[in-house]
Structure 1
Amino acid sequence: MNKRLMFLDLICYGAIPFLIWNYGREPLGDYAAILLSTVPGFIYTVYRFIKEKQLNIAGLFVITSLFISTAVNLLSTSANDMLWNQVYLGFVFGMVFLISTIIKKPLALYFAVDVAYLQGYPREDSRKLYKSKGLFIWFQLINLLFVFRGLFLNSLKAFLIKSYGVDGYDKVIIYMNISGWVFSGLIFLSFLFVSNKIAQYLDQLGNKKRESSVNTDT
């Protein structure tokens, strides 16, 4: 992820919501201020989705979860209910990743297929490669990292809500963004690690084909 995107993420998901909450809660009330603080992230995510033309599993997952989250926020009757509903929904998303791991269709693998497609590799070829013995297990592990991320972040959010209540929403924003960035870094490094494993796997296949060709010629 380049520095420009990191800066925009920090502004739209952290700084602007923080400012809206701190300066908007008194004139607007807690519920309206929290609801309004989610708007910058929503608009930014939709913008990224349209600009990057991610009509794929990863893009569809992001945009679907975004619309569901927005609907839950709008249907919540109070600021406190909204925060708790976000926690419950976060656990549901974590369960989606867990289920995809159990049925051996890890979303992490399909996310990687989407990235490879944007780099010019056919989806079917990438899908078959990633499901190869020796590679598939790594995508299962990354998927479990997504599960742990959902469990940890939403447990942390529940703890913060219990500790500080609605009045401490500014602390929720800060701590959630910091922990979110930590997990984003871990997930990025995990995919980087798997990319290296894929390269090694392809090298081994290439060596075997060359050895087979030499044996056939002799």
Structure 2
Amino acid sequence: MTEKKSIDKKLIIMDLIFYAALPYFIWKYGQDPLGDYAAMLISTVPGFLYTIYRFFVEKEFNIAGFLGIGALFLGTTVDLLSGSAEQMLWNSVYLGLFYVGIHIITFFVRRPLALYFAVDFAYLQGHARKDSTNLFFQRGIFKWFQYIQILFIVRGLFMAGLKVYLLQEYGVDGYDEMLIYRQVAGWFFGILIGGIFFYTNVPIQRFLDRQRGDHQKES
């Protein structure tokens, strides 16, 4: 438990450095000599490299990993093609809404990405993907992954709305506030989503206990 807490604390510090502190520093001190667009573009490099590092260090090419790395390259491509700092920020809003659309679709077709993320995690714990998938689609368990999927949608809409508000209120000059607020909001939703993921162990355990009880009665 102590080791896990120390790892989590280290990840929080690393996230803060590469996703907020370094981008803020580059933007603040590179804006005048480099211009808004170049400074904003360069400020995304620490987060890009850190995400690539995290992806390959984990050495697990799963659905969550593929989606994460795909989103990273798509976001970087859009940034490079934006042409200006303001357009880059607006494009990030549109891209965020595109991801929200994907989450909405998977929710309504009853194939929530949250469930497949949980399958990936269970696989890392030594459970077969097929077994976990069948288990998570069981009645009483599946609905919790739909709830998490709704939170993904709410998070995406909130993040997009926050960017739009800051853009309209401060323009490109609000980029530094955007970095801080985005990181804080990301932590908030991360804790909320992580908490529900953790709670899914309760209905899963209840289902498994019922199954064991039924088998004992049959025998």
Aligned amino acid, residue 87 of structure 1: V
Structure 1 unaligned residues grouped into runs of 5+: 214-218
Structure 1 residues 105-144: aligned runs within 5 Å: 105-144=111-150
Distance 2:173 2:137 in 1: 48
Structure 2 unaligned residues grouped into runs of 5+: 1-6
Q: CA deviation at 1:151?
A: 0.5
Q: Which runs of 4+ in 1 moved over 6 A?
A: none
Distance 1:135 1:66 in 2: 31
- 2:201 paired residue number: 195
Q: Percent identity?
A: 51
Distance 1:165 1:127 in 2: 45
- Could you state the TM-score of these two structures normalised by the residue count of structure 1? 0.95
Structure 2 residue corresponding to 1:158, chosen from 161, 164, 167: 164
- 1:16 paired residue number: 22
- SS state of the match for residue 200, structure 2? helix
Structure 2 residue corresponding to 1:212, chosen from 195, 212, 218: 218
Q: CA deviation at 1:210?
A: 1.6
Structure 1 residues 47-196: aligned runs within 5 Å: 47-196=53-202
Cα distance per residue 1:145-170 (max 9 Å; x no partner): 10111011111111111111101211
Question: How many matched pairs?
Answer: 213
- State the superposition RMSD in angstroms: 1.0
Distance 1:159 1:202 in 2: 47
Cα distance per residue 1:24-74 (max 9 Å; x no partner): 111111101111111111111111110101211000000001100000000
